[in-house]
Structure 1
Amino acid sequence: MLPSPQVCVSTLVTVSTMAVVDLYLLEQSMLGPRGGARPAVWPCVAVALGDLCFLLALRFVSAGVVSEARSPRRGFANALWFLFLSLLQLKLFFVCQNYRQERRPPDPLARKTLTLLLSVCLPSLFLILTGADYMTPLRRKQEVRSRLLWVVVDLLDVLDLQAGLWEAQGSVGVPLWVEGIVFFYCYVLLLLLPCVSLTELGATALPGLQAARKEAIYPWLSLVTINLFTLVPRGVGMLWYRDPRVSTVFLGKNLLALAVKHLPPPLLPGLSQTHNMLV
């Protein structure tokens, strides 16, 4: 069978994102103690082998998923997201380490461009993977779009927290172990929460599983892991370390989400109704 348009577009997005992050790694390899005017052979070979292994693993994993999963497209979406995020976060870890050890003056434009790339590509890939199954005439499109919007906002929230590790790094004296915990916490959220959302949206589309929507766990995971736990690093960074990288917009979003979830409906009728529609 020929690949569907969703598979082609999702593959294009993943390969393009990997290529741009690879350029960051190769550019950083030229700035080391033995760096030259052009990237060395071994970094180029290592980057190319990593991307080739990713594509081969995705090929075999997707073939097994299609033959075993009850919903092949949903299984392919989870497999693609899991493998893509695993390799991407591994590369971002080395990008952060290289920025920390960099001796030249920081380049804010390059770092913010990396953040912009991720904030566009990751939500786009998630929407492409969900659109393969769930934007059908059998489902109410407005309800699905509202739920997807909530997940996209959560993705941008986590990316904003993680982007503070490579934007203007080392200027506020945050300990290395704190940055490591924040990085891997964001990595786990980006890896697992979209897969949970994809699974729940796919389960409601399968026959006999219409009741799964009433027992959705993603809204509670989002409330606890994103809107509650991320208040700690943002609050400590802003109040204790005087960190200017803390986004007060997403800090306000976290507080608003907690208020909407816990205040009784008579106090916030409009916001409570909107929150119930989204989750």
Structure 2
Amino acid sequence: MGAGAPETPSRARAPAKSKAAEGGRVVRTRDPERTKASILSAATAEFSARGFAGAGIDAIASRSGANRRMIYHYFGSKRGLWLAVLEAAYERARTSELKLNLESLSPEDAMRRLVTFTFDSFIGERTFINLLNSENLHQARHLKESERVKDMHSPLIGMISAIVERGVKEGVFRDGHDPAQLWISIAGLSYFYFSNIFTLSVILNRDLASKKELAARRAHVAELVLNALRLPPQEATLSALGSDPVQRT
């Protein structure tokens, strides 16, 4: 047929949208949010495996089923995609912590719960560790651009501060703790263990990933943090009796 001949039904282009068999509901062939989520998931896996420098847009496109054009359309650049991956990883961690409902627990139980939850969040989770290692290798030059990550940590520091303040008022914790420093200690005691678990297992000739070793480390970290917060026994007794240990002679 010539170029001007009308299309037959068999040659007609597929419509951009179609109606469901029942109900007349319109079904669109494109779902931007689903596409973005697929790209983000693929990028998280690729960046975790290869770091920012080693990961490639082509590999991410192949993993996600999207093309390069779509990746750049949604995220602007490889740098923008990397930052989106970091922000999503931090958001998952912080959102989970804020759902712990620690206000209903005693100060000691609340702090123990936060410490053990932080520890457990690293078990079997190499992705976040790898992402953090890569970003620290680049001296956080990408993370510096994210006000969102900074903002999402304020509630966490506030939550820790509230637990400590309750403990001080109830006479079980010492005063004068910096909640930011405390959070660094809580996260660091777990992060170091899991980020170095393979080399430490070889050096110490122990399977630090075994259930027994994980349970021992979890308990150790919790007691270490709580012992740093607790009043010495004598001062705790005086506090319970209503005496101010600072003013005693």
Q: TM-score range, shorter-chain basis?
A: 0.3 to 0.5
Q: TM-score, normalised by structure 2?
A: 0.34
The structure that has the greater radius of gyration is 2
Higher relative contact order (CA 8 A, sep 6+): 1
Greater helix fraction, Structure 1 or Structure 2: 1
TM-score (structure 1 length as normaliser)? 0.31
